[in-house]
Each structure stands twice: as C-alpha cells, then as structure tokens.
Chains A and B, each alone.
Chain A
Amino acid sequence: QSDRLLIKGGRIINDDHSFYADLYLEDGLIKQIGENLIVPGGVKTIEANGRMVIPGGIDVNTYLQKPYQGMTAVDDFYQGTKAALAGGTTMIIDHVFPEPGSSLLTSFEKWHEAADTKSCCDYSLHVDITSWYDGIREELEILVQDKGVNSFQVYMAYKDLYQMSDSQLYEAFNFLKSLGAVILVHAENGDLIAQEQKRILEMGITGPEGHALSRPEELEAEAVFRAITIASRINCPVYITKVMSKSAADIIALARKKGPLVFGEPITASLGTDGTHYWSKNWAKAAAFVTSPPLSPDPTTPDHLNSLLACGDLQVTGSGHCPYSTAQKAIGKDNFTMIPEGVNGIEERMSVVWDKAVATGKMDESQFVAVTSTNAAKIFNLYPRKGRIAVGSDADVVIWDPDKVKTITAKSHKSAIEYNIFEGMECHGAPLVVISQGKIVFEDGNLHVNKGMGRFIPRKPFPEYLYQRIKIRNKVGGLQGVSRGMYDGPVYEIPATPKYATPAPSTKSSPAKNQPPPIRNLHQSNFSLSGAQIDDNNPRRTGHRIVAPPGGRSNITSLG
C-alpha cells in the first residue's frame, strides 16, 4: 500500500556531503540511491530538476498535549503534525508533561495513546520530570528499558511547582546518567523569577511585558551555568532546551570549549523573532509571544543565535510549539503570570532557519541538514534510521526549494491559533514535496495526511554520540585518596554540649525560608512537639519567658 517512488535528478544533501543521484523509495524505506536505477514499472516518478533532496526535519521540542489549568493547547497531535509536515518536518519528539501528582508511566501511556490515534508523522516522546517522588526511579527504569524513552527533562524554574533544587538535580542527573539517558534542562532561576514576579505585580505591571521583565536573560544564563556545573561534576551530558538569549548561548559555547558535553537547542521563535513585541499595544498580540524562557527583547538575538548555530556551538533546533488561542491566553489578562506559555513554530522552523542562516550565508546546506535533522537524530539515538539519506533509512525525505519565497501569516498557516508570532515575515526556502514513511504527504501546497498514521519511534539509551566520551571519561576520572599513616597526634576534645541550637521558632522565620525537609536535621533539638510527655499529668503552666533568670543564664543557653 505504500507508494513506490522514484525521485529523479535531485541533489542529495546529507550533513557531510552532497551529490547528484536518483532515489528509489519502497515500503517506507530508501531502497536505492544512484544513477540509472533499475526500478519496477509503474513507479511514480518525481522530477526534482536539480533541486535539493534532504532528510526530513526532526522537531525535537513540541508540546502538543500540554495541559494548563485543565485545558490543552489548541494544536493537538493531529493539527500539530499536519503543520509540521507542511513545513518539511517529518518527525517530532513531543514532551510528555505529567502534572504533579500523576505518575510518569501513566502520563506516558496517555500521550502515547493520544499520539497514536492522531499523529500524522512519526513521533517519539521525551518525558518531563515535574516532581521527583519516591518510586520515580523504578518508573524511569521501565520507561528507558521497555518503553523506548531515552530523554527526560528537569525544570530549574516554576518555583513550588516543577522546580528542582540543586541537590535534586544532582541526584536526578546521577540516576539518569546511570540509565544512559539524555538529560534535558529547562534553565531559568525559578527563585529569582518568583521574586521578580512579585515585585513587578506590586508595581502594577500586569501585561505581557511583565513576563519578559520578570524573566531577564541573566536568569536564564545563570541557570544554564549552574546546570552545566552540576552536569560536569557528574560527568553526564546535558542538553539545554529552548536557548532564548545571547548570554545563555554564550555560556553554552564557552562551556563546550572547556570540555563538558553540553548541547543547546534554540527554537524557531528565538531564531526568527525577538521580544520587543511584549510591549505591543495589542494585548492579544503581546500575549501570543509569551513563552519561557521569554523571547529576548534584544533585537540582535536572532542573528547571534543563528551564528552560533552555524558554527556548531548550538547543535539542534526545535520549535517549542505549544500554541494557545487568544481566549486561552486571556486567562492571564489581568496577571501576566497566568498567561499560558507557548508559541508556534512547528511549521515555520525549517524555513526560518533557511532564511536566517542559509540565505544569509552563515551556514551551508549540509550544516542546515545537520541542525534541522541529523544532529537531533544522533543525540536522541535515531541515527541513521532518521536524519540521513542512505539506503535502509526511513523514507522521510523533503524536496527543498531554496528560491521559493513565502510570507508567513496566520491566514494561511496550518495551526489553529489566531496569531502567528512570525506574522508578515518573508521567508526564502520552503519544501516543495514532503515524503513521510514513503508516502507523499505534501505536494503543490496540498496536504494528504491520515490521522493516526504516525508511528511511535522507540529510542535506545546510551546514544553513542554522547556516551562514548562519557564512558571514557568515567574510566580516566577515577578518584583516589592518599594513603598515609594514621594520624596519632593529639586531638582536641570538643565540648560535649553542641553549640548549635534549634533554629528560631517558626513564627520568626520568614515565609520564604526553607522548611527543613523530612530528613533528620542534626541541628534541631530532639524535643518532640507532640506526643505524650512524662509530665502530661501535671497541669500546664502558661509559658513565660525568662529574660533574666535568677542566678544568671544557665549554661545551655549562654551565648559563649
């Protein structure tokens, strides 16, 4: 039932080199590459006329099912993957987003089911770790070993919701490394954001500009720096999702020069537009740009990120596609912190990268293939099934027309939202024909898709592209103590009463202070606040403070 296709006269572009050859596709696979191919009769032939034939794009970051306050984004797996295919993307990796309280496994199954029935292109799933709970280790193990998931995202932002402390990150990184997973990080300093949000709301700023003001790019850069520090301590690879600002990108570039295995993913929005729109007088337009980390208000950001993408300091591109309708965004019309976060970009990604990076001469076609497809396939262990035009690879192929000029507008886009953040942008480069699983799904501007035809692509742990180096570093990085004789000199005797007393009673502590977690706190006194006491039968006296007890202060409370 799958098409037999012959693509004639195209220039095949892989990330390493390009060459002229014909391509024969059958059973959803690339069967032959070469000239004068011997193919069965009755094969449909596409004349590429010297145009480029590239591996289909892989969008590494989509949220087509993300719940927010009981609603989901307007583009579901059907609508979203349709848009993806129209833009030349033939595979997506979607984020499973378990709401705190639901387990990773059940959420994974929920996403899997939704995608299987709706998705039009192949897909795979990342799982977000929105809380680090007891029993999560077993679930992670099952996901990695039986479910084909090899990437998990942790959050450094969203205080009191999804945010993890540095200790938790350390623990999570360590465990994920032992599973051979790719560690994705949403990098923003949640503590400071919470403080800034409070301050900005108090100043009476409630519009979308408050979103950008409360999340300045320094906070993104700081978190990236911290994530890399933790990862390099553990010697594990770390992948920063949504690189939105110059400073965050620079931190990644700098760190890579020092050796840690860091990967950065700018998204369509950060490559194609900037955050000046948060100050738009049109609330609905401004709100459409709300995503986290926010788009940088610095208009030179897209240019800088494209340069880093071209030179290899950033490696992959996603879209972070998670659009909400204006009515949904309007939940936060009086408070920017309530605006659901997410922008479009799944359809525009390939064209934006082409227009901003290739058409400007920053990168060549092979690098374009690398950042839109091949690198992603390598990092997430899909290579060479995806991300390459080679015999035996999946027949996900795009015929790309570099000269086609298209104006992006909400009127013609495939997404269900009213606003397109790239509205009016003229893009050079667009797909002419898109072939997914060996079938033509997009031709002459028309989509031919079937709901539910996308397959789940399982991914194995320990991708070579990342873990080869990690394994070697593990071997050479062993720690050893110094063997020395026992110290047998005098040892100072510590006074028996520990000086550290109970931290002040809770009424004194600030509301923002950390309440010590259930671990046993050695500094706290061991008096129990409840439960039977020996003197329960004695009538209680009301407490009174002894400011200056007769006979002076007793030893235990003395300042000394």
Chain B
Amino acid sequence: SEQILIKGGKIVNDDQSFYADIYVEDGLIKQIGENLLVPGGAKTIDAHGHLVLPGGIDVHTRLQVPALGMAPADGFYQGTKAALAGGTTMIIDHVCPDAGTSLLAAYEQWRAIADSQACCDYSLHIDIPRWHESLREELEALVKDKGVNSFLVFMAYKDKLQCSDAQMYEIFGIARDLGAIAQVHAENGDIIDEEQKRLLELGITGPEGHVLSRPEEVEAEAVYRAITIAKQANCPLYVTKVMSRGAADVLAQARRKGTVVYGEPIAASLGTDGSHYWSKNWAKAAAFVTSPPISPDPTTPEHLSSLLSCGDLQVTGSAHCTFTTAQKAVGKDNFTLIPEGTNGAEERMAIVWEQCVVPGKMDENDFVAVTSTNAAKIFNCYPRKGRVAVGSDADLVVWNPRASQIISAKTHNLNVEYNIFEGTECRGVPTVVISQGRVVLQDGTLSVTQGSGRFIPRKTFPDFVYKRIKARNRLAEVHGVPRGLYDGPVHEVLASAKAVAPTAASRMAPCAGKALAAPVRNLHQSGFSLSGSQADDHIARRTAQKIMAPPGGRSNITSLS
C-alpha cells in the first residue's frame, strides 16, 4: 500500500472541521496535524481549498440479489467501482437467500462472490425471507461467528417474503437478545396484493401501475406497525428505504415519543420523484421501478432532505440494484413482473450534497454524519470507519465543493442504459478517493483492483443503539399484583365449549393470507376437547346453573373495597 500525504485540506468530521494534513500508511491514518514528519517518497496530494471527508458508507446495496432468476446488471465489481467513483468507500450489501437456501449458505455464497469481486470494503446484512423456528440457531451463528449484526424482514411481497406480525415480534425478540439491528422493508403486502389485482383488472399494466398499487399510505402504515412491534419487543428498529413523506413523518413522530428507530432515505427518494412512472417512454418509466416506489409527490425530496438535516432521518443508502432495460422488459405487459431496483451507489454523495448542503439545510459536518458517521455508529464499525482520526481506516475523500457535474448515463460507471438522475446537476464532486490507503480515483481516473475489498465483520450490541435498549430492558420488568386467591363463586362453563375456532377449510376466505395458523395453543379456547371420551362420560350432563347467591353468603374477597 502507498504512503500518502494529504496537504492543506480542511478535515471534516461529524462534530468539527479543522485544517490539518493527513499522513496515510498501511491502509491506516497514521498522523494528523501540521508540519508532519513523513518519510521521503510519500505521495503528496494537494487538497488546498478542498474538504477531506471520511469515505462514504452506503448502507444499502443489492448487488447480487436475483429477481426472477436474473442477476442484477451491476455485480459487486461494477457496483463497488461505481461507489468508489462517487466517494463511497464502503458498502453494506444485502444477502437475500433463495427459498430453500439456508441463511448461512447464502451468506457464504455472498462472501465468496464479494471477496473475489468487490473493489472496496464491504459488510453484509442478511434478509430473512421465510421465518421458521430453526432459523434461530442460524441467526445466532451469523452473529457470533460471521460478523453480521443486522437482519432485514419484509412486510411486503405477500406469499413470497412477507412476515406476519407475530413472526416479526419473534424475530425482533431474537434480534434484541442477540444485540442485532432489526431492519424492515415496510410496506403492507396484503393491501398491495389486492391493489395489484385491482389495477391489472382495470387494464393498467405499465409502470404507473407499480406506484398506483403501492401508495404511500401503505408504506406509512407498515412503518407505524413495525415501530409498534419493535417497541413492544423493545428492539431497535431500522427502516430501510424511506421513500415518502408519510413514512418519514411517522418515523419522526415515533422518535419524538422515544422509540429507538432509524430511517434511511435513499439516493432515489432524495434526488428525484415518481412522476416519471407516467413517462411515455416505457423503458424510462420502468427504470424507476423500485419498492417502496419513489413518491409521485414532487415535494418529497425536499421534505426528506429537511428531515435528514434535522436528524429525524439519520443515514442515507442507495438501495442500488440495477437491471438493464431488457431485464426490466420481462414485465412489459405486467408491472408486477418488472424487476425492482434503481441506481444510486455512485450518485448518493453528490445528491445529498446538492439537496442538503447547497441550499443550506445542513452543514458539511452533518453531511459527513448522514453519509458516513451515523451508519458506522449504528452498524458498529465506528471509529474504524466514519471518522478521520489517527488509527482509523484510510478511507478518505477529497471533496471539491466548487466543482460541479451533470449526472448522465453516458458518463456513469454502470452497466445500465438509464440513469434515474439523468440531467441532474450536482455542485460538489469527489476529486480524490482513497480506499484502504490506496488512491482509487484521481483526476477523473478510476484505478480499482477487483477483489481488493475486505469483509468488515461487525460486532453486536452497538453502543450507539443498545445503551438505551439495555437500560429500558432493566426498567421494563412487569409485576403481577399479589392478591389473595379468589374464593367466590365461579360460574360453571357448559361442557360443550361454544368457542370453536373456525375450522373447516372450506369456510376460509380464498385470500386468507395472514393468521389462521393452526398448531399454536389458543388461550381463548376452552381446554375441553371436542372429541374423545371424557372421564365423566357416563354421568348425565347438567345444564349450567348460575350461582347468584352462594350458600354462606358472599366471600370476603368479592366485596367492594
């Protein structure tokens, strides 16, 4: 690795900015200060008039998640290359196991691909598509041995990935005990499913159907529900892809009430809006298809960037998951088949700068917080990542706030034909990007090495998140009321239990998606079995009788106090 001296820049952390030089060696930041003593032959980068930031952390990418058996157009190589070009030096990618694949196997599969292809450091979230009890051990193994501390559950994609409320409660409980972060994809899958059916019946098959079937109330509802469940389970919650005003507001309100919840808007929701779904150009409209959809309300980016600036939302991702037009065209006659995902890994930093810093909503320190530091704190890689400090990884970006660029599919580092930010002018450009102590971008030239990215394991119980949770756990104990045994009269329950669960399958609605689970013990049901012989079968049944005035008068315990 190289020896690099960055001279004359203004170092920006999330808490303060100051002028100093930085000396980098062995992939680490070795010295910060003025008039540093550095060995000869160190490469010098002149950063006068520029900012030196901790490299960006993209908390949400999906570089390898297949849709209908198709791999995304940008794999780990292309995706991380694009990320570096935009000033992002670490990604956290989502592992989404196929049905029938164990979480551990999927994890290993992702590791193998990423290790051989990624150009920047990476870490992994694990998605939990189908919950069953035996996954508990796998989660434990992943947390204890594999350096994963975050799991995502889906509230959408009915009959495929969707979790019921009861399952979420269980998973959140496990995550809390393991010290992991529970992430949710928040959309009400039941309603979406019905709306999709309705829209297809109306003959709406184009990409506008995607956003019509997933209105923002459905996102806000799910965020609200997820927060309720997480609060019940006393588990920290992280909402991925905050795409609409409604969802962001629900989240902000919950934080005001003290819930430990984090929200992640993405480059797409901060930088563009969903009016493009109505584009006459099918391919362009389809390029915007992602879930939750980009809100058609054009004031959304403005609102989300305001919440991001005031701390109601904390981190930014990209949810980068791109498909070529030919791949998107699988759904040309049915919007529900369009593979979901937009670009954003490369554009994220510039979009946030343009939307938040340029109009004066946030300062450069806040910018560092939402693009890098907060993510490092939440996902427990701070201060190794997310800070310019002696001993931290040498992931640095020299940022030129005076340059500008125009985003275009012609110049981006991706394999897809459309860029959803096409034509957006961004003032603020990374001029030099240093990853693991190596210069990977300088003077507009990328020099990356496939497979140079390392897996960054993350420990459990991040202080930033769990300190409060632990304190609350201690306080949350509930106690029963010690009272004498009730010894008054008890109404005799008719032997033939009336409360029968709806049994016969023929009575169930065809759309029974949720509940109607069988083998759990139902506490509302009587313990009497409906079939089978009883000990007193030979005794004739008495009809129940009410005891209004028991012999001997009422017992003490029932008297009014």
Residue positions of A touching B, CB distance < 8 A: 67-71, 99-101, 131-134, 158-161, 163-168, 170-171, 189-192, 194-198, 200-201, 203-207, 209-210, 213, 216, 218-219, 221-222, 225-226, 229-230, 232-233, 279-286, 325-328, 330-331, 333, 335, 337-338, 410, 418-419, 423, 479-482, 484-487, 489-492, 494-495, 497-504, 508-519, 521, 523, 557, 559
A165 touches B100 (CB 8 A): no
Set A192, A233, A284, A487: member contacting B557, Cβ < 8 A: A284
- Chain A neighbourhood of B109, CB < 8 A: 559
- Chain B neighbourhood of A279, CB < 8 A: 481
A283 touches B513 (CB 8 A): no
A482 touches B516 (CB 8 A): no
A495 touches B69 (CB 8 A): yes
Contacts between the two chains (Cβ within 8 Å), count: 353
B190 touches A165 (CB 8 A): yes
Q: Considering the complex, give the chain A residue whose CB is closest to the CB of B73.
A: A492
B548: CB under 8 A from chain A? Answer: yes
- Bound-complex Cα distance A159 to B485 (A): 29
- Bound-complex Cα distance A464 to B165 (A): 37
Q: Considering the complex, give the chain B residue whose CB is closest to the CB of A218.
A: B228
A418 touches B224 (CB 8 A): no
* Chain B residues numbered 445-482 whose CB sits less than 8 Å from any CB in chain A: 478-481
A161 touches B499 (CB 8 A): yes
- Bound-complex Cα distance A79 to B164 (A): 43
* Chain B residues numbered 190-238 whose CB sits less than 8 Å from any CB in chain A: 190-191, 193-195, 199, 202-206, 208-209, 212, 215, 217-218, 220-221, 224-225, 228-229, 231-232
- Bound-complex Cα distance A292 to B191 (A): 26
- Bound-complex Cα distance A233 to B558 (A): 49
B220 touches A229 (CB 8 A): yes
- Bound-complex Cα distance A559 to B228 (A): 36
A131 touches B502 (CB 8 A): yes
Set A99, A160, A512: member contacting B498, Cβ < 8 A: A99
- Bound-complex Cα distance A504 to B522 (A): 25
- Chain B neighbourhood of A197, CB < 8 A: 523
- Chain B neighbourhood of A503, CB < 8 A: 99-100, 130
B132 touches A508 (CB 8 A): yes
- Bound-complex Cα distance A495 to B547 (A): 71
- Chain B neighbourhood of A479, CB < 8 A: 199, 202, 204, 212
- Chain B neighbourhood of A189, CB < 8 A: 165, 225, 228
A510 touches B133 (CB 8 A): yes
B36: CB under 8 A from chain A? Answer: no
- Chain B neighbourhood of A225, CB < 8 A: 221, 224-225
Known: A327-B488, A327-B546, A330-B491. A519 touches B160 (CB 8 A): no
- Chain A neighbourhood of B193, CB < 8 A: 167
- Chain B neighbourhood of A221, CB < 8 A: 228
- Bound-complex Cα distance A223 to B159 (A): 22
A559 touches B98 (CB 8 A): yes
B132 touches A282 (CB 8 A): no
- Bound-complex Cα distance A68 to B510 (A): 28
Q: Considering the complex, give the chain A residue whose CB is closest to the CB of B524.
A: A161
Known: A134-B507, A161-B522, A165-B190. A487 touches B170 (CB 8 A): no
- Bound-complex Cα distance A511 to B106 (A): 24
A514 touches B514 (CB 8 A): yes
Task: Report the minimal beta-carbon distance from A110 to chain B, rounded to whole angstroms.
Answer: 14
A492 touches B516 (CB 8 A): no
Type the 1/0 row for B524-536, where 1 means its CB is closer than 8 Å to any CB of A.
Answer: 1110000000000
Known: A335-B523, A559-B101. A159 touches B515 (CB 8 A): yes
- Chain A neighbourhood of B478, CB < 8 A: 200, 203, 205, 213
- Bound-complex Cα distance A131 to B505 (A): 12
Set A216, A330, A485, A491: member contacting B486, Cβ < 8 A: A330
B507 touches A131 (CB 8 A): yes
- Bound-complex Cα distance A207 to B511 (A): 37
Known: A133-B509, A479-B212. A328 touches B218 (CB 8 A): no
